[in-house]
Structure 1
Amino acid sequence: MRRVQIALALLLFAALACGEVSTSTPSSTLDTSAPGAALPEAPLTIAIEYGIFGVAEAYIPTGVTYAKPQLVFGIWGNLEPEPGEWHWEPLDALVAEYQAAGFRGQQILLTAESPWASKVPVGLFAQVDTFPKDEHIDDYENFIRSVVERYDGDGVDDMPGLLYPIHEYGIEREFTAYWPGSAEDYVRLLRIAYPVIHEADPEAVVMQAALLLIDIFDGAPDAAEISRRWQVSRINRSLDENLTVIAACDAYDVLDFHSLGDYSEIPPTTAWIREQLQAFDCGEVPIWIGDCFSMSGLVGYGSIPAHPTTEATVDQVIDLLRAVADSRDPDHETATSWLRAEMSIGLVRKIVVSAGENLAGINIGNLEDWASGAVAADKALVPMMGSSMFMGMTDTTITQRRPGGPLPYSGHMWSQARTAGDARPAFYALQLVMDQIGSYSTVEKLDLGENVWAYRFETPQGPVWVLWLDDGELYLPDMERPNVAVTLNVEADQIQITWTPTQVGQTEPESRGVTVSDNACTFDLGLTPLFISIVD
């Protein structure tokens, strides 16, 4: 189903990519010491996705230095469209742009899809099977080996001008929606690729094709509800298929799952995955959220509500998102401002909770909107794609420039460079996260009362607390938002409270000093995350 919804959107997006489309609203020395090596030392690597041409420099001010390129650049058919005919220029150019801008780590997903080597290549009416034909297994191994060797930074057959080595690779895109075959076939492919990668680069880290478990853990259900959902899932693969992939931990180093729902799905998803890893004697496997919307998609897959949207509010949500799509709608500005604020709030919550769950990394999207700009078509797609259509952290314009030339096989629109426009609140929220807790060493979850999410981070500058209120409800525009009085014990004379920026046009967060009495401070806490630090 997700393949269908994305495909429909991309057809519209591609139709406009031939011109300049705006999605706005009113040779060097290799640095082998850089943190491109296997899992960086920071407890949680915060990355952006999906890397596209033209915007790398625009995102450096966020403080993020790790990126995941757009997935089409790792498709076999785009790198070797004909046997022995290599087209390195697009991927090389993208890697070079991000490295030159200051991104020292990148994570590349490699996909077996090939017009000449796949058993049943992608076609309009074909039952696709991208697993390599038997006679092309050696060619697949060579494809994997060639990519890893080109970017490992060992001085042998490296990309010209490579600044930092790339050591992180995923094998295939999301298992749930994008792998067309069986779980057993996927594991077979993974076990072919894994030793080849490690032979080519002993420092490599391999991620399996990600699990998407949103309709199982959406809204943090209890155990009985989780069991029921496995039986009736409309989006997911079966429990057995997911377990087959998890059990293959001899062929991956990091487990990848996707978080396209509300942040509250992250703790139960992580707990369940760790239970399965333990059951399969996999040991301590790092977990990475390889694809993360900044907020809940709210609705998708044909008007299915996603927490905190409910059946009672789904029609209102669809109307609001359609107003975002249509600048002539009388509710456009209200709906857009509301959505931008929700993105900013959700982004902070997702990163903080991921840190609290001791995850290895999180890739935060998106770098551009997925709406096509064709208003009628975009409005029609809202029930399928929800808020994901409008999740760009900046305005962007598609240009005619192709820094790496055309992609020879698929995803042609992503060969075109973008121009970044105005940054949105989520951009500044990401900047605030990196400034406040980007270099933390430890994190502890606190109990400060019902519906209060609170974490204490230890950073080089001292402790930082991040808190917000969440009663599980969806607050639409013009609804009164709750707040509660919270008391924080802190040994200091004064603290600084900084609120996550949520307003369109707001480039700096609101911040104020508060005097502490008797090592305790009481303040009002609402839905917007706030950061608290000690004033020396």
Structure 2
Amino acid sequence: MHRLLVCAYWAGVTVFSTWPAPLLAAPITSSAAPEQVVGREPRFAIGVEYIIPGFAEVYAKTGVRWAKAAAVGCTWGDIEPEPPTGGKHSYRWEVVDRTLLEYQRAGFQHFHIYVRCMNRWASSKPVEPIGGGSWLPKPEHMEDYKAFLRAFVQRYNPNHPDHVPGLLYPIDYWEIEAEWGTGFWKGTLEEYLELLKVAYPTVKQANPQAKVILIGFFLAGLFEGRPDPKEIPAALAAMPAQQRRITQQYLADVRRLLAHPDLFDVVEFHSLSDWSEISGMARFLRQTMQEHGYQKPIWVGDVNYTASPLMFWGIPVPPYTEKQKPAIQSTLDALARPWHPRHAEAIAWLRAEQARGLVKKTVLAMAEGLAGINLGNTTDWGLFGIAPRITGTVGFQGLVEAKGIPPKPGEPRPAYHALRLLVEKLGDFSEVKPLDLGRGVYAYKFTVQEHPLYVLWYDDGRRYLP
């Protein structure tokens, strides 16, 4: 059998592959989705987030079969905006039904759902008019929360008689609340555990096959460039005092939440920073679970700042440095202003960085033995582009252009094509091993359909701007 040695420069990452010649015959520019191996699930799940109406078909063409829905539309207050009357609940399923069924019809088979208890009439404390946030429900409304959560899970369980008409696949992954420590959950840690003690058995009763995902962890500024949790003390010592106190408290919270493995099935962390944080965060979570005598699957989500945000609230995000702050501000201003003389240059740089980061984060997640990754964003979040020096690059992170109101898919961006190639080349890998090729070289040997495929890149630990 003839073999070809392939060397591809893909999104700033070099890929070497030894393949039988027929496997390389099909052009990678085909509009069809990459083929999936029938009969078994891949060992690593690749998903997109956050799904919105009208974009299912364009993302199905990437070959991705997992997706995550945003909390908007899946929050208790969105679905049950009025309290029950005479003990009868009235739920508004139209928005969530329409979106999830659109993606199922397009070929998506697996979903993560954020479920937030935020509900103005049931909240134990007032919900802020802008931004909101979840408080524990009032004691007299906890049964109403259970009824809502039970109805939600049953609606997407095909084995339940009340499931939504047209359901093609069960929805088995349910995340209780959104993100720890960033204002999405307003209550205390003890109150969140109280909510979990109600939510976990409720989900399981509604669908015994369902998995409960613990609230996501977001901890930027600690693990970038530090893959070994043993480096935590040195990293903390190098931080300004206030940041050190906040980070130490966050680590303590993570350890306390992970001390309750009977209340969740899956752990998730959010990677909103540099790609180099993946390994350290994954190993820290695994080490912490081991200290408590168990292991559970780990997902990485919110992978939507794939160039890293550059800056949050005026603070450069590592590995970017304070010395780079003027250049970062200039770059963000150019990104946000189409009339800026450097706008085209900044956009071209961002699109390249976005594609590189997407590939690197996914490869590292695969190499760390994680269960899966949710990549995004599906579209730009234009509102965040108004104040880029506060929000960083979040406003410009869509994998495709979006046009019109309501938005419709436009031209795919480089990161979209990188995602498609990622699924095509690595989506069905059976094994991955890191290779030691010297300082600064990230190298991995994948086995795909019994053939080796090598992915490698060089990193000098610095980050560069246009």
TM-score in terms of structure 2 length: 0.85
Q: Note the 1:271-310 alignment, pairs <5 A.
A: 271-281=283-293, 283-293=294-304, 295-310=306-321
Aligned with 1:67: secondary structure? Answer: strand
Q: Quote the residue 2:224 is aligned against.
A: 218
1:239 matched to 2:228? The reply is no
Q: Quote the residue 1:206 is aligned against.
A: 212
State the shift of 1:248 in Å. Answer: 1.7
Amino acid at match of 1:137: M
For residues 181 and 340 of structure 1, what CA distance do their matches in structure 2 show?
A: 38
CA contact (8 A) 1:397 1:419 kept: yes
Which of residues 364, 373, 378 in structure 2 aligns to 1:367?
378
Alpha-carbon spacing, 1:124–1:147, altered in 2? closer, same or farther (3 Å): closer
Which of residues 399, 418, 421 in structure 2 aligns to 1:429?
418
State the shift of 1:336 in Å. Answer: 0.5
Alpha-carbon spacing, 1:398–1:132, altered in 2? closer, same or farther (3 Å): farther
Q: Quote the residue 1:262 is aligned against.
A: 274
State the shift of 1:230 in Å. Answer: 10
Which of residues 440, 443, 446 in structure 1 aligns to 2:435?
446
Alpha-carbon spacing, 1:309–1:86, altered in 2? closer, same or farther (3 Å): same
Q: Note the 1:176-187 alignment, pairs <5 A.
A: 176-177=181-182, 178-187=184-193
Amino acid at match of 2:223: F
Alpha-carbon spacing, 1:201–1:231, altered in 2? closer, same or farther (3 Å): farther
Q: Note the 1:345-494 alignment, pairs <5 A.
A: 345-372=356-383, 378=385, 381-399=387-405, 417-460=406-449, 462-477=451-466
Q: Quote the residue 2:44 is aligned against.
A: 44
Q: Note the 1:43-82 alignment, pairs <5 A.
A: 43-82=43-82
For residues 77 and 207 of structure 1, what CA distance do their matches in structure 2 show?
A: 20
State the shift of 1:132 in Å. Answer: 0.6
CA contact (8 A) 1:296 1:307 kept: no
State the shift of 1:398 in Å. Answer: 4.2
Aligned with 2:268: secondary structure? Answer: strand
For residues 125 and 288 of structure 1, what CA distance do their matches in structure 2 show?
A: 29
CA contact (8 A) 1:295 1:347 kept: yes
CA contact (8 A) 1:71 1:109 kept: yes
Amino acid at match of 2:74: G
CA contact (8 A) 2:385 2:393 kept: no
Alpha-carbon spacing, 1:189–1:57, altered in 2? closer, same or farther (3 Å): same
CA contact (8 A) 1:298 1:308 kept: no
1:311 matched to 2:322? The reply is yes
Runs of at least 5 residues in structure 2 that lack an aligned partner in the other structure = 1-37
Q: Quote the residue 1:190 is aligned against.
A: 196
For residues 214 and 162 of structure 2, what CA distance do their matches in structure 1 show?
A: 26
For residues 175 and 396 of structure 2, what CA distance do their matches in structure 1 show?
A: 26
For residues 457 and 414 of structure 2, what CA distance do their matches in structure 1 show?
A: 17
CA contact (8 A) 2:120 2:127 kept: yes
For residues 202 and 134 of structure 2, what CA distance do their matches in structure 1 show?
A: 22
State the shift of 1:457 in Å. Answer: 0.9
State the shift of 1:125 in Å. Answer: 9.2
Aligned with 2:288: secondary structure? Answer: helix
For residues 216 and 373 of structure 2, what CA distance do their matches in structure 1 show?
A: 12
State the shift of 1:387 in Å. Answer: 1.4
Structure 1 segments of 4+ aligned residues over 6 angstroms from their partners: 125-128
Q: Quote the residue 2:93 is aligned against.
A: 88
CA contact (8 A) 1:298 1:309 kept: no
For residues 338 and 48 of structure 1, what CA distance do their matches in structure 2 show?
A: 22
Alpha-carbon spacing, 1:454–1:197, altered in 2? closer, same or farther (3 Å): same
For residues 238 and 192 of structure 1, what CA distance do their matches in structure 2 show?
A: 24
Alpha-carbon spacing, 1:113–1:125, altered in 2? closer, same or farther (3 Å): closer
1:429-484, CA deviations, whole angstroms, 9 ceiling, x for partnerless residues? 0011111001111111111121110111111161111111111111222xxxxxxx
Alpha-carbon spacing, 1:251–1:108, altered in 2? closer, same or farther (3 Å): same
Q: How many residues align?
A: 417
Alpha-carbon RMSD: 2.1
Alpha-carbon spacing, 1:172–1:306, altered in 2? closer, same or farther (3 Å): same
Q: Note the 1:79-118 alignment, pairs <5 A.
A: 79-82=79-82, 83=84, 84-118=89-123
